[in-house]
Amino acid sequence: MLKLSRLADYAVVILVNLGEQDGVVTSPALAAETGVPEPTVAKILKVLSSNKLVLSQRGAKGGYRLARSLADISVASVITAVDGKIALTACVDGGECDAGVSCGMCGSWDTINKAIRDTLEGISLEVMRQNSACGAGMMKKNALMSATTRREGA
């Protein structure tokens, strides 16, 4: 199904949310905002921090803030940070295939991978935020709703 990892999806939501606030924000606060479970938010933020997409401030009164504006963060960079290199198959560009079987087409996928990467590079989080069908309010509402549901369900 060619699916994206859920973490990457969360990361986008979290970053957009972070971009709509000013000052440093703690991970619990972001978790409350987005409805994503706190430990997961923390984990994602750590990764984003090590990839320089967000800046962290440790200690009391610490938290996170965007390293650049939403317009300067591409979807590709978020996915790359969370999921690693963007590639459609096990044969990463020029890399060796352990399996061998799927390797018959080694070079061929490179074209596809590059095309997809270019596509994702061209879309910024700012665009994502604006194109959102539901809007920020809806996002928050949905998030809280799901958080409640999850808690009740468990």
Partner DNA sequence: CTGAAACAGGACCTAACTGGTCTCCAATCA
Partner DNA sequence: TGATTGGAGACCAGTTAGGTCCTGTTTCAG
Helix (H) or strand (E) holding 138, with range, is helix 135-153
CB 127 within 8 A of CB 73: no
The alpha carbon of residue 151 and the mean position of all alpha carbons in its chain are separated, in whole angstroms, by 24
CA distance 125 to 72: 8
Work out how close the CB of 61 gets to a second copy at its nearest, in angstroms, rounded to a whole number. 28
* The entry of a second copy, DNA, none that residue 39 binds, CB within 5 to 8 Å by partner kind: DNA
* The entry of a second copy, DNA, none that residue 138 binds, CB within 5 to 8 Å by partner kind: a second copy
Helix (H) or strand (E) holding 17, with range, is helix 6-19
| Contact positions vs DNA (CB under 7 A) | 1, 3, 5-7, 10, 25-28, 36-40, 42-43, 45-46, 49-50, 56-64
Work out how close the CB of 105 gets to DNA at its nearest, in angstroms, rounded to a whole number. 15
Q: How many H helices and E strands in the chain? A: 7, 2
| Contact positions vs a second copy (CB under 8 A) | 1-6, 9-10, 12-13, 16, 34-36, 75, 79, 83-90, 97, 99-108, 111-112, 115-116, 119-120, 123, 127-129, 131-134, 136, 138-139, 142-143, 145-147, 149
